[in-house]
Amino acid sequence: MMRLARRFFKQPILSIIVVVYEMNREAPRTLQSLTPSYQREVSEDDYEVIVVDNGSPTPLGEDTVRKFGRNFRYYYIKNASPSPASAVNFGVDQSRGGILNIMIDGARIVTPGLLHYCLLTFKTFDDPTVAALGWHLGPDRQQRSIFNGYNKDVEDRLLGSIGWPKRGYDLYKIASLGGSSKDGCFSAIAESNTIGISRKAFNKLSGYDTVFDLPGGGLVNLDFYKRASERPGTRLVCLIGEGSFHQLHGGASTGLSQEQLDKKFSLWADNYKQNRGFPWQSPRRPTDYFGAIGNEVMPHIAWSANHRMELIAHNAQRNATGVS
């Protein structure tokens, strides 16, 4: 029946793969931020959203997903791997678009221009890898803010204070840069939770590497982002006015003390080196900046520029004094 129904729908240009695990509070907001009523200058015929539930003990459910539109589909993986790598690859296999956008963390609300500018990037550049910065809702990175009173109730009130979802770009007013994007948009970012890539390029990279089998995947998303953005011939494009905003949900690195965090990141780094044969480093690739810059994100743009200049001056001083 599903195969028959698909024949009557237009082939989507873009397929968004959203992986969820025990996110029944957070995922509906993420999916709402991907609806045509929230996203600007796109229609439901332009894209599809493939939601892959990676074995949640309390499944998100098909009924919850389908209410967001006919272009939303839900799959549940039984006996799932603790790593989301296979779930991403499975979602891509179920999708139809020639352009993919990978959201390995289904607890992230996105800004209203993300899909439009992702599609426009592929019309403007040959074989791009598209990224947007990652943010944490709240006054600080959530690994720190939860020890200072930040919790889900506070987060709910924060979202209510900006009138979300009516004012999607006001997310910038209640968020802080995530660790992967801590130096701002004019410095190399470690990963993106909205990775845009062509299906052809995804397949050439053999998708997400399932050798990263730690719970939560370890550095699997960072590994794919690095491989995607450093592959020959691609242009790394940052959607400078768009972003993804992490909701508190008790993820792989949330709720841990600094000592516990250090041990976990050390484990992930060791796992990466074991799998790749060399230590992980942020991608080193020139970045093109694309998209509109709204008033809400302007303070961040200014901070990023000043911070980048400070880093350049600091590095120049270190080089001049011979400090390694």
**For 184-208, how does the pLDDT look when each residue is reduced to its tens digit (9 = 90+)?**
999 999 999 999 999 999 999 999 9
**For 58-106, how does the pLDDT look when each residue is reduced to its tens digit (9 = 90+)?**
999 999 999 999 999 999 999 999 999 999 999 999 999 999 999 999 9
The two most distant CA atoms of the chain are separated, in Å, by: 70
Domains of the chain, earliest start first = 2-296 (3.90.550.10)
**The pLDDT of residue 257:** 61
Confidence class of residue 252 from pLDDT cuts 50, 70 and 90?
Answer: low
**The pLDDT of residue 315:** 83
Considering only residues 293 and 263, tell me which one the structure prediction assigns the higher pLDDT: 293
Q: What is the mean pLDDT of the chain?
A: 93
pTM of the model: 0.92
Query: CA nearest 131: which of 244, 16, 295, 296?
Result: 244
CA dihedral 161, 22, 150, 155 (to 10 degrees): 0
Which residues are within 8 A (CB) of 315 and not within 5 positions of it... i.e. 6 or more apart? none
Percentage above 70 pLDDT, the chain: 94
**The pLDDT of residue 278:** 95
Confidence class of residue 9 from pLDDT cuts 50, 70 and 90?
Answer: low
Task: Specify the amino acid at residue 7.
Answer: R
CB 267 within 8 A of CB 218: yes
Confidence class of residue 54 from pLDDT cuts 50, 70 and 90?
Answer: very high
Report the alpha-carbon distance of residue 134 to residue 177 in Å, rounded.
6
In order, the DSSP letters of 141-160 are -HHHHGGGT--HHHHHHHHH
Antiparallel, parallel or unpaired: β 14-20 and 47-53? parallel
Query: Helix or strand or coil: residue 197?
Result: strand
**For 109-160, how does the pLDDT look when each residue is reduced to its tens digit (9 = 90+)?**
999 999 999 999 999 999 999 999 999 999 998 888 998 999 999 999 999 9
**The pLDDT of residue 255:** 54
**The pLDDT of residue 319:** 81
pLDDT at 165 over 90: yes
Determine the average pLDDT of the residues in 204-227: 97
Confidence class of residue 6 from pLDDT cuts 50, 70 and 90?
Answer: very low
pLDDT at 262 over 80: no
Distances (CA, A) of 207 to 117, 239, 273: 23, 22, 19
For residue 243, the 8-state DSSP code is E
Report the alpha-carbon distance of residue 135 to residue 41 in Å, rounded.
23
Residue 80 CA from chain centroid, whole number: 21
**CA quadruple 204, 246, 132, 12: dihedral positive or negative?**
positive
SS (HEC) of 83-120: CCHHHHHHHHHHCCCCEEEEECCCCEEECCCHHHHHHH
Query: CA nearest 61: which of 78, 75, 71?
Result: 75
